[in-house]
Chain A
């Protein structure tokens, strides 16, 4: 079927949509329209207001002011089920899945109907064939990989034969090859006359897929354009509103001493939901940044915990820091050896949400800096003044923006909290830094600041291991790249010899021979 020509009345239109949370205007008079048979990009940085707008369109949030029009008629979308009845389907960035339930049960829960579970499973099977999305309706979701989980979300949406499909950052969890498959499905849906609202900050994808784009910044629509007529650079500056400092690659300092050495690390899965680590070997030398690419859930969390000492290795240990065997040592002794760790999850792992910044400084520094931060020996009385001074120093060095003198961690924006957490470790100039997803969900300005800080640390003679899902970031900072898949790690390759396609194949678990 040929795409219908754009009509005078858009399929969906918003006029002056405003949403206020407390003192924050998450959406400020947003005007936006999407035509039939169009793949329309909604571009913007984290915190630009895209998610809020989308939640309003899907009925999860109610606007404080403004009006939504569907086929030219004014409507209030008061609930997701009403949105679905209208013909709006949504694929969330964070999947709305139930891990303990089967695929068919998950699909059945997403819409109201009189279909039996068996009938739901049958229709799902048909749809998955039609659109090239293989899926077993009887599988338990907890056992599925991320790419398969996304297929459930898409099939859920297709079950209701929607006219508008909203996809929120769909490729952030996919390999490049999986993304290509997704794009083919999207083109097929568009050719059937459906509209697709595609939310992303990946400009290449948007240029490939979309024929229209709305760009948001600070809750407002700043531009609407045809992305095919723009360059990636022009789109980026519209999105960010200012030029972002380009990260400066340091002169490769590889060839220094081996500061972190992992040899044939294996570890069984600790829980039913964990990944076993298998025969991991890695050497990080002074002066280099090693990036570990891979899709989330392939053992990165377990590997980070093994490196940090949050889980201890078995005797006959296989992890050495600065030449010292540390497999049996916890995170505090490893910090005392001048290693530092930055976990992926900011709130609830790297920081305690309800505690003040100064307390969160003490969290990671009480062992390495006990001489200054604690007093009276075994009694270990906290020197509150010193802790506050240290925290202040980190805040100044990393330009952390905050609303109060010493606010709780949860009160900071993601980017500012990440700057604080990174700065907390850099402040003591560690010889080895292991960091997971250094700029995940961080705005572009803070991201380039953080990446620069990692490069500077390596240039000063430290070893940096960065676990990341973001290929752009990896190519920006890494001297060498290794790929993690299914609990295994490939040998690191100089980044100049690595391509996105090869990483993609390795991420998907293809052996090095095939990928190379």
Chain B
């Protein structure tokens, strides 16, 4: 027996809408099997993972906090991936965004101007954009593989941030722990409501998603992104430049990743330390695909991924399941998302041995 694909004449709209949900359902089934293997009650574990966090206000807020950088980064990645540019170094752009954003609040510690926060945010975006510009220009100018170069830059960014928080920017009063001084209040991204952990980064994320959604669907730039992603040759025929698009897409996505970085630093941690790299840049790749590269879908996908993180912490506390299980879930989810996308464009069928489909002898 052999599995075969047959191309659909037109892709299925129904499946395009439902395929992420099918993928989610399959991931849950796989997750239940995994829990069973680990000797945990499968159904109860899934409840702890995916339902309990939703019933608790504190967990709900944490989901929003976690989802914020994921959405910001993934929205930028949607521009890259749609245009055929494989930026997988968002983690590095996020880190450098945090680093650049922290520059003024750290170096001008005590500067009381209300301009400090806006400047920090702008620096953060600029930092991420600049860092993304490196693989972009290497690809556009020399044809260097952007997948590998953007990824290598993640490792370098991790080292650079590590050096800064242990070396030149270390808080002298920090008792030897790596990390800068805590930001002054005028450099801190305000909470969404009083005493909340959730901060204005969430507003940026939603704003970014809506703007990019409109640009992708309704403007010539969005059209250019789609065309170049699907067929660079047709794009050139349309008068679009693939090299300029590479720069554009990387810079946009780097700026959003940088904004995510400085929002996390300024809104959540309130200083730059050595624990900024939590893999959001990689999880955002999953968010982007789960959202089918549609910024509005990405909002939902970001919340789902954040739920899996919070659920993972929950499950660790409640049931002693490794918090690594969340990462496994995410990996499985991406696999199922990609597999289910096949259904949109192909009909899947099974045939027995060659000739098995014959009806007459």
Chain A residues within 8 Å of B, Cβ to Cβ: 16, 22, 62-67, 74, 76, 78-79, 308-310, 330-332, 335, 341, 343, 345, 348-355, 359, 362-364, 366-367, 374, 379-382, 384, 403-404, 407-408, 411
Contacts and interface: CB of A to CB of B under 8 A. Distances in A.
B237 A382 contact: no
Contacts of A79: 354
Contacts of A64: 357-359
Given A331-B239, A335-B239, A366-B220, A62 B230 contact: no
A76 B233 contact: no
Contacts of B358: 62-65, 76
Given A66-B360, A352-B230, A407-B10, A362 B223 contact: yes
A349 B239 contact: no
A363 B237 contact: yes
A286 to B, nearest CB: 25
B39 interface: no
Contacts of A22: 6, 9
Contacts of B233: 345, 348-349
17 contacts: A62-B354, A62-B358, A67-B361, A74-B361, A76-B355, A335-B239, A345-B233, A348-B231, A352-B231, A353-B230, A353-B231, A359-B223, A366-B223, A382-B218, A382-B220, A403-B9, A411-B10
A26 to B, nearest CB: 13
A283 B234 CA distance: 27
A377 to B, nearest CB: 11
A355 B227 CA distance: 8
Given A63-B358, A78-B355, A362-B223, A330 B237 contact: no
Contact of A348 (B218, B234, B354): B234
B219 interface: yes
Instruction: List the 9 closest A-B pairs by CB distance, nearest first.
Output: A332-B239, A380-B220, A65-B360, A78-B354, A363-B238, A331-B239, A352-B234, A352-B231, A349-B233
A335 B354 CA distance: 52
Interface in B176-228: 218-221, 223, 226-227
A500 B200 CA distance: 75
Interface in B225-263: 226-227, 230-231, 233-234, 236-239
A350 B360 contact: no
A411 B10 CA distance: 7
A66 B360 CA distance: 6
Given A380-B220, A408-B11, 20 more contacts: A62-B354, A62-B355, A62-B357, A67-B361, A335-B239, A341-B237, A349-B233, A352-B226, A352-B230, A354-B11, A355-B226, A359-B227, A362-B223, A363-B234, A364-B237, A366-B223, A380-B221, A381-B219, A382-B223, A384-B218
B239 A350 contact: no
A188 B357 CA distance: 40
Contact of B239 (A66, A355, A367): A367
A382 B218 CA distance: 6
A62 B239 CA distance: 43
Nearest to B214: A381
A302 B136 CA distance: 27
A47 B230 CA distance: 27
B103 to A, nearest CB: 32
A78 B353 CA distance: 10
Most central of B233, B238, B359 by chain A CB within 10 Å: B238
A161 to B, nearest CB: 26
Nearest to A359: B223
A308 B237 contact: yes
A504 to B, nearest CB: 31
A349 B354 contact: no
Given A22-B9, A78-B355, A404-B10, A349 B234 contact: yes
Contacts of B238: 331, 363-364, 366
A310 B237 contact: yes
B248 to A, nearest CB: 14
A348 B233 CA distance: 6
A25 B223 CA distance: 36
A302 to B, nearest CB: 14
Contacts of A381: 218-220
Interface in B312-327: none
B320 to A, nearest CB: 48
Interface string B33-75: 0000000000000000000000000000000000000000000
Given A330-B239, A352-B231, A380-B221, A408 B10 contact: yes
B360 A374 contact: no
Contacts of B239: 309, 330-332, 335, 366-367
A309 B239 CA distance: 9
A47 B226 CA distance: 31
Contacts of B230: 352-355
B234 A65 contact: no
B307 to A, nearest CB: 32
B124 to A, nearest CB: 26
Given A22-B9, A366-B220, A367-B239, A67 B360 contact: yes
Nearest to A366: B220
B223 to A, nearest CB: 6
Nearest to B8: A22
**Highest count of chain B CB atoms <10 Å: which of A64, A66, A381:** A381
Contact of A65 (B10, B227, B359): B359
A351 B10 contact: no
Nearest to A334: B239
Nearest to A77: B355
Nearest to A409: B234
B211 to A, nearest CB: 11
A345 B232 CA distance: 13
Contacts of A63: 358
Interface in B64-98: none
A79 B355 CA distance: 10
Given A67-B360, A355-B230, A349 B237 contact: yes
Contacts of A359: 223, 226-227
A63 B360 CA distance: 10
A381 to B, nearest CB: 5
Contacts of B227: 352, 355, 359, 363
B197 to A, nearest CB: 36
Interface centre among B11, B226, B360 (most CB of A within 10 A): B360
Contacts of B354: 62, 78-79
Contacts of A331: 236-239
Contacts of B9: 22, 403, 411
Nearest to A348: B231
Contacts of A74: 361
Contacts of A332: 239
